[in-house]
Amino acid sequence: HSSKMQKVKNLMVPTEMVGQFNVRPTGNARAEDFRSPPIIRMRNTYIEPRDYTFEELLEGINFGYYLVSFMGGQANLDGTFQVGIQEAYEIVNGELGEPVRNASISGNTLETLRQVDAVGKNFELHSGRCGKGQTAFVSDGGAPIRVKKLIVGGAG
């Protein structure tokens, strides 16, 4: 496969901190309405498709997880994240296995992105909302990815 991985090009930085990071403002502060102060929040986020089939993404995985859909989550100012998993399955010897319940993932955003070693061909977008005490409508999705190392936790 000849996929060329792209780099993260910009970080979401509040205007009052652009000097600290020596970057230009990115315009990511938004407000729910005129009564609410603007705060940093996600935009429409997605992964561009590449050249792996779904089956090829599973190849060579002795044990892992296929994370299908997510619910809730947060990104912190220190670059860490936590996301709840709505639907997931075990991967055993390159094949989908049993469903997984009550799981979540966490880690450092940039370190996790460095662990991506394959990107799928398929592309889907989903509508959603960014919370943070205000509602902003956003979308997310894109192509499926294979992550070599990720913290997965949960009960049972």
The pLDDT, as a whole number, for residue 75 is 83
**Cα–Cα distance for residue pair 60/1, rounded to 1 Å:** 15
Confidence label for 2 from pLDDT (cuts 50, 70 and 90): very low
CA dist list (Å): 137 to 31, 104, 126: 11, 23, 11
Task: Write out pLDDT tens, residues 90-144.
Answer: 999 999 999 999 999 999 999 999 999 999 999 998 887 777 788 888 887 889 9
3-state secondary structure of 6: coil
Task: Write out pLDDT tens, residues 37-88.
Answer: 888 877 777 888 999 999 999 999 999 999 999 888 888 889 899 999 999 9
Kind and range of the H or E run holding 109: helix 109-114
CA dist list (Å): 70 to 32, 67, 74, 155: 23, 8, 12, 16
Task: List the one residue out of 29, 8, 7, 13 whose CA is nearest residue 77.
Answer: 13
Please state the pTM of the whole predicted model. 0.77
Q: What angle do CA 12, 43, 45 make, to 5 degrees?
A: 100
Two structure tokens written together for 40: 């940093």
pLDDT at 3 over 60: no
